[in-house]
Structure 1
Amino acid sequence: MLLNRLLLVTLSLLILAPAEAGIELTENIQLSGFGSTAISKTDNRTPLFISREIVDEACYDCDTIFGLQLDIDIADNFGASGQVVKRTQDHWSDPELEWAYLSYEYDDFEVRAGRLRLPLFLVSEYYYVGQAYPWARPPQEVYDSILGFTSYDGVSLAWNYELSDGLQLTVSPYYGFERVNKVDLGVVALEFDTDYMAGIYVDLVGFNYRIHSGFMQAKYQQRPSPIVEKLDVYTLGGEYSYDSWQWMAEIEIDRIQTNWYASIIYAFDAFSPYFTYAESHQSRKSKAGALGLRYDATSTISLNLEYQMIFSTEEGNRGQFVTSPLVYGESSDVDLVTLSVNFVF
C-alpha cells in the first residue's frame, strides 16, 4: 500500500513538474523548494547511519527531506536568504532553520552574517538537495564524520577572484559563535557546547573541474563533562568531468578518524550508473561499495536505485552503524537497498 502511494506521488510529480525550479513571488523575492523520500532496507537489525537509523524492516521515512528557501534582493548589493528543512531526523512539526543570513557584495567580496552552512565538503552547500548530486545520499563515511552537523551561527567573508577566463578562485574564512549542538546516537543523546568554530575554505573552479579544501577548528565541551577540547578538521575534495564521465573524491581527517570515498559516474541519455568505494579508519572502521543507477525523469525530478555493501574491518566496531552491532547480537557487515525520489521546484 505504501509503495503504491509512493509511486502515485512520483507519477504526480512527473506530470506536474515545472520546466525550471523556483517561483518568483515578486520582482525581488523568489521561493524555491526541494525534497527527497525513499524506501530503504538493510539485512541487519542494528540502526545504520546517524540521523537515518535504517534497519532490516522497510523504512519509508528514514531518508525523507523537505525544504523551502526564500531569497530576497533587499537593495543594490544587499540580500537575504532563509532555508527551513525537515531533515531526516526531524518530525514534520519541528523542522530546522538551516540557514538565515544577510549578505552584502562589494567588488570581489561578499560578507554573510547569520546562520550559515558549514563549508567543509564538496556538496555542503546543497547537502539536503538530493536532486543536486548523483547518489541516493552523500557517502556517509565522509558526510557523517562530524556527526551530521551542517550549520553554524556567525559570519563569513568570501573573496571571489577570476584567475583567468575559465578559472575562478574563492577564499572564504568564517567564524561561528557559541552554540549548543545536539545529536542522537540511538538511545543516547549527545550535547556539545561549542565555544567557537573557526575555519577557512578554498575553492578552485575550472571549466570541467573543481577542487575544494577546508579547515575548521572547534572548541567545545561534551556535556556533562567539564573538559574543554579542541578538534581540527581537514578536508580535501575534487570533481572532474570529461565527456559523459564524472569523477568525485573526498577525504576528511581529524585526530580521531580518517574517512574518504571515490566515485565514478557515467551519464547517457537520462540514465547515470555510478559506483562508489569508501573507507573509514581509526574510531570508525569500515569499507563500503555502492552500485547505483540514477534516472533523471525531468530537469527537476530524479530517481535512484542503489545497492550498498558495508564491511566492518573490526568485529563489533560501530563503523557506519549508530551503535555497535554487538548490542543487537548482529554481524558487523550490512547490505542496504534504497529506492529514492528527489525533486526541486
Structure 2
Amino acid sequence: MNINKILLLALGAAIMLPNAYALDLGHDVSIKGFGTAGLVYSDNNQADFVASSRLNPRGAGRTENISGVVDSKLGMQMDWQATSRLSFTAQAVSKQDPNNSWVPELQWAFAKFKILPNLDIRAGRIRPAVYMLSDTLDVNYANPWVRPPTEFYNQAPISHMEGVDLLYRLQTGPVNWLLQPFYGNTQLSMTSHQTVTAKNLAGVNLVATINDFTFRAGYTYTNLSFNDPFFEGVVRPGMQSICQADYGDPVACTQLASLDPINKMASFASIGAGWDNGNYFLTGEFGKITTASLLHETLSGYISAGGRFGKFTPYATYSQIYNGSPTSFSGGSGPYGAYTNQIVTGILTYDSMDQNTKTLGLRYDLFSNIALKAQWDRIDTSTKNGQENTGYGIFHHTTSSFNNGGNSVNLFSTSVDFIF
C-alpha cells in the first residue's frame, strides 16, 4: 500500500472521529495520529524546492512542477502511563527520505520520570529543543502555515537524538518558566550516500510565558562530522597531493584542515518571541550558526503575523537566510597555488545559500481536527556580488543557469493537516 492510500485512510479516520484525539487501548495505553496531505506547484523548472535540509530525490520544480511529496507525512504516537510518575512514549513518522523511501522512522522513543512535581527527566530517543516549535514540527496541524519558514527551520535539522533532557518548570509571580537542558548523540542521513554525525550534542532551552507573551532563548553545541564520498574521494586526496608535492603549496594543507568536515565544532544560538491573544498572533525567531570550519556560518530568521476570524486564519510571513561564509579564495602560493584556489573556491561557492521568502496564506478549520491551508511563497535567491555558482539559495537539484543568477520562484501550496 503506497503512502497516498495510507494518507487517505488516515484522513478518513480523522473525518469519522472529529472529536477523538487519542484512542484509549486500556491499561493506560493510548494511541493518536497526525498527518499532512500536501501539493506544491513551482513556476521554475530549473531547481527543486524540497522544504528540507536533506537532499531528497524529488521536489517541486525541476523534478515535477506539481509535487505531492514535499509536505506530505503521516505519524503515529503511542503513550503508556505505567505509573503516576513513569510514562513511555514512542512516535514514528513516514515522509520522503533521501532514499526516496517512505519507511516510517522512529522519531521519539523515550521514558519519562517525574522526579519532583515540577521536574521531569526523559531518556531515550528525543528531539532536542533547538527551536520554539521543536515539539510540533511534524504535527503541522498545530502550526498556522503550510510549513514552518524554511530559511530558519532548515538550519539545525536534528530531528532526534539518543540522549537525555530535563524539564524544570517554575513560576515567579506572573511568569511561568521552563528550563530544559539536553545532551546526546545522533546520526542523520542527508542523502542516500551522505551522513552527518553529531557527537556530544549539548544545549539548553529557556522559555518564559507571561499572559499572552512567550519568550525563548536557546543554545546548542556539538561536534559535527560530515561523511561525504566526494570530499573523501576527490577533494582530500587532491589537496594532499598539492600540499605534499615537490615545490607544492603549503597553503593547501592549512585550507584542507579548515575545510575538513570531520569533528568540527558547531553551535546554534537562537532567540524567539510570540504574542497570541486568541484573535491575533505575532511571532518571530532569529538564529546564528557558528562553526570551526570555513563553511556554513549563517544568520536566519522570520517574522509572521495573522488573525483568526471564525474558522479563517489569514497570515503573512517574511523569512531570510544569509550565509556569511567566504565564497572565494585566492591565497594559494607557488606553482600549484592556482589549483589550491580553484578547489577551495569550488567548495566555498557550493555553500552559498542567500535567499528570502515572502509568504501569504490562509488556514480554514474545517473540523476541530482538520485544517485546510493554501499558501503563496515568493522566493528570491541572490548571488554573492555576481559570482558564479552562488545563486541557488537553499534549492536542490539546480541547473547551472539557476546557480549563476539571482532567481525569483513562485510557489503555490495547499495542504490538509489533521489529527486523530
- Which residue in 1 is equivalent to 2:416? 341
**Is 1:182 aligned with 2:184?**
no
The aligned runs of 1:143-292 (5 Å cut-off) are 143-146=153-156, 148-164=157-173, 166-177=174-185, 179-184=186-191, 189-223=193-227, 224=232, 227-242=262-277, 244-255=279-290, 256-282=297-323, 283-292=352-361
Q: How many Å apart are 1:9 and its aligned residue?
A: 7.5
Displacement of 1:206 in angstroms is 2.4
Aligned to 2:109: 100
Structure with greater Cα Rg: 2
Matched with 2:123 is: 113
Q: Distance in 2 between matches of 1:268 and 1:57?
A: 33
Please identify, of 270-279 and 200-209, the stretch whose mean Cα deviation from structure 2 is larger: 200-209
Q: Which residue of 2 aligns with 1:73?
A: 81
The match for 1:62 is 70
Alignment match, 1:36: 36
Aligned residue pairs, count:
335
Give, in angstroms, the shift of residue 75 of structure 1.
1.1
Question: Distance between the aligned counterparts of 1:11 and 1:124, measured in 2?
Answer: 24
Encode CA deviations 1:245-288: one digit per residue, 9 max, x unaligned: 10010111012000000000110000000000011101421121
Shift of 1:79: 0.6
The AA in structure 2 aligned to 1:123 is L
Structure 2 equivalent of residue 47 of structure 1: 48
1:54 Cα offset (Å): 2.1
Change over 3 Å in CA distance of 1:284–1:344 after alignment to 2: same
Q: Which amino acid aligns with 2:364?
A: Y
1:318 matched residue in structure 2: 392
Matches of 1:63 and 1:149, distance apart in 2 = 17
**CA distance in 1: counterparts of 2:261 and 2:277, whole angstroms:** 52
Query: Partners of 2:287 and 2:281 in 1: how far apart?
Result: 21
Point out where structure 1 has 5 or more consecutive residues left out of the alignment: none
Distance 2:120 2:226 in 1: 34
- Per the alignment, in what secondary structure is the counterpart of residue 60 of structure 2? coil
Tell me which moved more, 60-69 or 238-247: 238-247
- Equivalents in 1 of 2:7, 2:109: separation in Å? 34
Q: Contact between 2:95 and 2:103, CA under 8 Å: does it hold in 1?
A: no
| Displacement after TM superposition at 1:28 (Å) | 0.8
Contact 1:31 1:68 in 2 (8 A): yes
More helix by share: 2
Contact 1:317 1:325 in 2 (8 A): no
| 1:299 counterpart letter in structure 2 | S
Deviation per CA, 1:183-208, whole angstroms, max 9, x where unpaired?
Answer: 12xxx742123222011110112231
Q: Which residue of 2 aligns with 1:137?
A: 147
Between the aligned partners of 1:342 and 1:138, the Cα distance in structure 2 is 13
Superposition TM-score, scaled by structure 2 size: 0.74
For 1:116 and 1:7, the matched residues in 2 are separated by 25
The residue aligned with 2:23 is 23
Deviations 1:167-221 (A, max 9, x none): 31011111113x322112xxx7421232220111101122312112111001022
C-alpha spacing 1:85/1:12, structure 2 compared with 1 (3 Å) = closer
Amino acid at match of 2:135: E
Distance 1:6 1:97 in 2: 18
SS in 1 for 2:148: coil
The Cα of 1:30 is off from its aligned counterpart by 1.0
Give the whole-Å Cα distance in 2 for the aligned partners of 1:156 and 1:263: 29
Q: Is the 8 A contact 2:14 2:418 kept in 1?
A: no
**Hey, what's the Cα distance between the residues in 2 that align with 1:258 and 1:323?**
23
Matched, 1:301 2:370: yes
Structure 1 residues 92 and 206 mapped into 2: Cα distance closer, same or farther (>3 Å)? farther
Farther off after superposition, 215-224 or 47-56 = 47-56
Do the aligned partners of residues 111 and 21 (structure 1) sit closer, same or farther apart at CA in structure 2, a change above 3 Å counting? same
Deviation at 1:13, TM superposition (A): 6.0
Whole-angstrom distance in 1 between the partners of 2:119 and 2:402: 52
Mean Cα displacement is larger for which, 328-337 or 213-222? 328-337
**Equivalent position amino acid for 1:21 in 2:** Y
Give aligned-pair identity as a percent: 23
Deviating beyond 4 angstroms after TM superposition, the runs of 4 or more aligned structure 1 residues are 5-15, 90-93, 327-331
Task: From the two aligned structures, give the one with the greater strand fraction.
Answer: 1
- Equivalent residue letter for 1:318: Y
Q: Distance in 2 between the 1:6 and 1:111 partners?
A: 35
Distance in 2 (CA, whole Å) between partners of 1:276 and 1:93 is 30
